[in-house]
Amino acid sequence: MMAAWTITYEMSGRVSAIPCGGIGALHMLACNSGLVKAIDAGLHLLKKHLPYHESNHVLNIAYNALAGGTCLDDIELLRNNEAFLDALGAQRIPDPTTAGDFSQRFSEHDVLALMDAINARRPGLWRRRLSREERKLGIIDADGTMGATTGECKQGMNISHDGVWGYHPQVISLANTQEPLYIVNRPGNRPSCEEAVQWMDRAAWLVLESFDEVCYRGAPTSRSPNTSTAGTRQAGSSPSGSMPIPSSWR
């Protein structure tokens, strides 16, 4: 049976809340790690910074995805959310149209410059975050992942082996921390191994700034059915390219 109990109500002041409560902590990490300054120093797409810098645009698009946005239009919801702006300590952020205009300024060289600017901060963070034991061997993974699209007329896209229209980007990542180091966009019909070796070697130079050795892991290359991008390199050694597959891996 339901019984009546004495209930006391208290009035509180108005509070504001957002579902992505950790966005402020992520922004502090970007500032304290030097990521903001690195992006501004390595990426040059704007002639004048009135009022936004390159880092403001890049982080605005990234925060939109972290907050659950699926397209640039979702930025409009965030820029009208006072609690979200307060978490970033901002009076305003770029609107979707401005974000789209900024995205169209990128060339292939600019995309690489942005990835290099972000990667420049990683070795220092690895040395601070990982112990000496954990930095003895860095494992670099390479593989392709399908990125399906909703259309069939976008530039550079194609149909994959299973009939999906989209792109097949090459993802080079550090398995130790599960961080993507390089992402190279390709049409959907390209094999996973295409151009993997050069990007794995580029990632190895980065990882060896903090790790003693690196180990390559990835799909077999197109050079030979008996070669693979699996192998190891030590700090100070030259890029090794593809290496024979150990018999235990076959």
Quick one: average pLDDT of 9-31?
A: 88
Nearest CA to 199 among 143, 238, 160? 143
Query: Listing from the earlier edge strand, what are the strands of the sheet with 165-167?
Result: 147-148, 165-167, 158-159
In the chain, the percentage of residues whose pLDDT exceeds 90 is: 62
What is the average pLDDT value for the chain, to the nearest integer?
Answer: 85
Nearest CA to 182 among 158, 207, 159? 207
* Residue 135 phi, psi (nearest 5): -100, 20
The residue with greater pLDDT, 79 or 160, is 79
- The enclosing H or E element of 147 equals strand 147-148
- Cα 28–119–213 angle (5° rounding)? 120
| pLDDT attached to residue 115 | 97
243 neighbors 220 (Cβ within 8 angstroms)? no
User: What letter would DSSP give residue 183?
Assistant: E
| pLDDT attached to residue 234 | 65
| pLDDT attached to residue 9 | 80
Q: In the chain, what are the domain boundaries?
A: 23-114, 132-249
- 169 pLDDT tier (thresholds 50, 70, 90): very high
First-residue to last-residue Cα distance in the chain: 69
175 neighbors 143 (Cβ within 8 angstroms)? no
Which tens digits make up the pLDDT trace of 205-220? 999 999 999 999 875 5
| pLDDT attached to residue 140 | 95
| pLDDT attached to residue 242 | 38
| pLDDT attached to residue 231 | 52
